[in-house]
Amino acid sequence: MQPSTTRKPPRWLDGADGPRTITVYAATAPRLQSLRRQLPLRVSVVPTTSLELFSLATPAADCAVVSGPSPSVRAFAEAVSALRDASRELPIVIVPTDDATEPDAAETGDASAARWCRVLPLAWNCSDDTLLWAAIQGSATLAALRVFDASLRAATHLRPPLRDALLLASGGLEPVVSVGELAAALQTRRRVLWRGWRSTEALAGVRLDDVIDWLLVLRAGVAHARGVSWTGVAETLGVDRHTLARAHRRLVGLPLADATFDS
């Protein structure tokens, strides 16, 4: 039986604080229990040591966690194929393990992680079990950004200046911290972008400036989930830490000091 790879937008984009349903695969029951203990009780977890069940359940989940030998092991082929098909939108976290379930799978955790990341380039590599929930949150945030970017590319009704600006803000290599920066990068004026945004009537009461701040906060969250301090995050994004803190408090409702990934 082949699992369906048709996915709806992640349910947790409606305002929940992370993926609601997570499939977790590990080669052994003790390893599975160890990973489960790192996840909040509020999360619905589908833990399994069965590759068949994992392959069937993952396309309907909000996130997948994989801990096992290298995907070069023949038994992983079907599971890896299902993940690859869904990986553009599905948050996937790889937790390397030195444990080998078959003689030809013996390799270090680093080597296993590198091989997994080649097969699933959009996956998040989590080298420490205690950081699993942070890795899931970070991977989920990246997936949300990919969903937003894909939606923009499909939004042909948006006029080029505004659409180009939003694409640059969401997927550009360099973070954009203001509408003014966007306008300068596109060699246009801020009022052109503001006027284009108002004409869409997409989200009543939401300013273009708020969207830019949200994208900045999301990028900051991804960097922080990778272990970068908030000060370091602000420096990387090219924004003052206090500016980032104000945007975070206004949009998320929490000061940076309280924005952790604890369960």
pTM of the model: 0.75
pLDDT at residue 112, as a whole number: 59
Banded model confidence at residue 74, pLDDT cuts 50, 70, 90:
low
Is 180:171 a contact under the CB 8 Å cutoff? no
Query: Which pair of structure tokens corresponds to residue 194?
Result: 């503001």
Whole-number mean pLDDT of the chain?
78
**Distance (Å, rounded) from C-alpha 41 to C-alpha 36?**
9
DSSP 117-177: HHHSTTPEE---GGGHHHHHHHHHHHHHHHHHHHHHHH-TTS-HHHHHHHHHHHH-SS---
Banded model confidence at residue 6, pLDDT cuts 50, 70, 90:
very low
More confident residue, 99 or 219: 219
DSSP the chain: -PPP---PPPGGGGS-SS-SEEEEEESSHHHHHHHHTTS-TTSEEEEES-HHHHHHHGGGSSEEEEESS-TTSGGGHHHHHHHHHHTTTS-EEE---S--SSGGG---HHHHHHHHHHHSTTPEE---GGGHHHHHHHHHHHHHHHHHHHHHHH-TTS-HHHHHHHHHHHH-SS---SHHHHHHHTTS-HHHHHHHHHHH--STT--HHHHHHHHHHHHHHHHHHTT--HHHHHHHHTS-HHHHHHHHHHHHSS-GGG-----
Is 96:122 a contact under the CB 8 Å cutoff? no
Looking at residues 82-93, what average pLDDT do you find? 72
Q: List, for residues 208-262, the tens digit of each pLDDT value.
A: 999 999 999 998 988 888 888 889 999 988 888 888 988 888 888 878 877 665 4
Is 143:61 a contact under the CB 8 Å cutoff? no
Q: List, for residues 196-217, the tens digit of each pLDDT value.
A: 888 876 666 788 999 999 999 9
Which of 18, 66, 63 has the alpha carbon at shortest distance from 45? 63
Angle between helices 132-154 and 160-171 in degrees, nearest 10: 160
Which of 173, 248, 165, 251 has the alpha carbon at shortest distance from 208? 165
